[in-house]
A and B are shown apart, each in its own frame.
Chain A
Amino acid sequence: MTHCRFLLGKAGGALFTVGFVLVLNFFLFRILPGDPARAGVRDPRLTQESQVAIQARFGLDKPVINGIERVNPLRLGSFTVNPLDTQFFIYLRNLLQGDLGISYHRNRPVTELLKERLGNTVLLVGSGQILALLIGIALGAVAAWKSRTAIDYGALVGSLVAWSMPTFWLGMVLLFWGSRWLGLPIGGMITPGATFANPWDARMDVVLHMVLPVLTQTIVYVAEYVLIMRTTMLDVLSEDYILTAKAKGLSTFQILKDHALKNAALPIVTIVALNLGFTVAGAIQVEIVYSWPGLGQAIYESVVRRDYPMLQGAFLLLAVSVVFTNLLADLLYSYLDPRVRTA
């Protein structure tokens, strides 16, 4: 019963956050100087017809929301307009229909462009995360177990150093020497213009392109996870139930496996989820350095080209995915932890 309430509470929180992100995303692009939403209509890259079409599509001639006519410069308006006839409502309606506008730069629907890129980012971030979690948790656990030994200090200092490196710089350094010494591809996802005899070779080509970007991410996240896991594990290993397990005659390996790792893994689930923002930041940098055609690169391109609809769409997608992954982690946690599950 309480568990049910817990889940509903978490889901409610996530919905609330998504709502906040939607509002933020809407106003952000109207509050800031230049009102990109309006400026965009006059973007020289668009034809006269598409400018008119965009104007109609986003209701840019309509008031922003009840009571506010324009945001920047601020002009208050009437409260009595039909709420369905405001920019905010049209924005929500378009969003629900999956319409995020048209990219100025590519002249194609943003939704379409994002869809193409989302998979690539998930592939890259997913591989890096899984590798980093496995290595980081193992290394952090060993460091805690062997606390105050050379292994522990090595892992701690190594992680702090790795953590201090900007992801993009580590990426550049690995790219510089990786491409020179190991002959790894210098970027992109596939070798341009190459034709492959069979789909297997094509896949191998992608894997080769993934080596360096995944390695870059892995190093940065491993550092993060070692630091988190080490602290969590030190706490767990100081718990009384570890002493009980030892008093029972269990071997160190059994204690680590059956009592320590599982208990330490629980907080890790939540912390990893909370760190997703960090992960996203890392993905943006890695994608830029390795020209990986993902969401991060899309953000960079739209910043450089002042492609506001694309920037807005990519930001929204990233923020909403982080919120939902967080919710997933909460659900997973509540399933894993009997104290929540059976409360």
Chain B
Amino acid sequence: MSLDLLPDRTGERRVVRRRLTLAVVIIAIMFMAVIGRTAYLQVAQYDYLSARSQDNRVRLAPVDPTRGIIADRQGRVLAENRSAFSLVIIPEQVADMEALLAELDQLLDLSEAEIAAFREARRRSRSFHEIPLRLELSESMVAELTVNRHRFQGVEVKPQLVRHYPFGESGSHVLGHVGRISREELARADRRRYRHTSFTGKAGVEAFHEDRLQGRLGVERIETNALGRPLRVLERDPPVPGNDIQLTIDIELQQVAEAAMGDHRGAIVALDPRSGEVLALASLPTFDPNALARGLDGASFQALNQDWRQPLFNRATQGRYPPGSVIKPLLGLAGIAGDYIDPDEIVHCHGRFNLPNVSRTWRDWRPEGHGPVDFIQAVAQSCDIYYYQLAHTMGIDAMHQWMTRFGYGLRTGIDLPSERDGVMPSRDWKRRVLGEPWYTGETINTGIGQGFMLTTPLQMATTTALIANRGVPIRPRLVSNQTLAQPPVEGLEPLTDIDESLWELTVDSMIETVHGPRGTARATGAGLGYQMAGKTGTAQVIGIGEDEEYDEETLDARFHDHALFTAFAPAENPEIVVAVMVEHGGSGSATAAPMARQVIDAWLNREESEGELVRR
């Protein structure tokens, strides 16, 4: 069969052409629809869709600022930023998170706390953000991870600045430490300065001076592809680094103080009475701030936090102890200035004190008594009977008034967080706190710094500095380049109404304590190349019955007395004030005074080499 292609029949041609014309119309309409739709997207929806395309590709990534460096008064770096490699995970790039964590666990031995923290951070973070799993990787781990890179899709090893405290446990209560910002902290924080992975000061100077140390976050506009992989930085608003801080602390002296405390628990505060600059502030035992900055897992933190020795507790500013006999110089001064006693008046001490119509007998620490003592000898020999008498004469109201003027019971205003006040008891105080009236017997106890009276070791130092300064109070401070004016502590004013000679007399009583033949600290004063003024104190932890003897041998260690000593030197022109408190250390003269001498010796014999703040 052969197909016969006949010449066109006009009618048939018309049929097809009519349909073709119809098709042309349809084609035109449909192409116009394509153009119309495109125009709608590209003109009417341009702003919206072009914004979405920007959103697609540009990610804002915060850049952490460098935290300010903390140095000691000689410019030695106490807190710095070290770059370390941390392991981060970008969850969106991980195919099987559980499998990955299991593999990483084999390699890194992840703790449950690390995994829990990771999951928490993952829940809180935005997509395509890195979530830290471990902060500091050892070099071998970095190598291992790099070699096995292909196995760990979505895992990155990133350099990051980690806070480092080169002196370790030394001065840790002063420095404090940093840690990851908590959700509560972040909620209150300025979001231009913090993000969810930021570090923030958690204690000590790191916390108190957080505003100065922390800079402002920078921002990088990063172009990413559809997988969220960063390709290049489009724009960069650099972070503003934090300010460096120079402390008044001398880390060498700090170490001397910590070494002097040995295995005891306690606190040593050394400051310059002329300026209030704190030279050393030791609280023992200490802790390693490096471990806390890297982030302890829950169990380790619990162990540290619940350690019965309380290593995290800053005894120097937060510990409250009965001051015992160290209040005697100032209480005596108050008695003399208030005309309750004459400094030359002799009190005969037989080791016992009784109140009329009270059956109780108060005993001197020296059972046989001190014989006849005037003010100077009463301080030097730490005669309790003299002070029972004085307290009885003054009464609690006058004692409270005078001692509060000296700074007892008040915060010193040091630039550290959570400083505690002490207690300078009064009728008011007792009614308010205990809901009970004041009893005369309690006045007697207060006369030797016992009973309700409590002070922090720092307060012992600042009240001693008041004597060293002959009546000029100071506010202790840790930061030397503080531009902020230092307002005096509220209610603490120069004691201009007390005659200069009375201050000298008080100083003399303390010199006699160290250098006098019957001074309680004469053993410590032996062979000194300079004149030291000091006062011992031995504070009872438990009430000893009126007829009982205090016997260290038979008493459990935790009931042993606290050993106290405050001193300054050189006595005539003081450069350093030291307060020592040793928990359950026994007697102030035997335990605390030698420690103070070590610190003062080290300071007065130091080689002067004050330098500028050194940056590594």
B partners with A: no
Q: Which residues of A contact B (CB under 8 A)?
A: none
Q: Which residues of B contact A (CB under 8 A)?
A: none
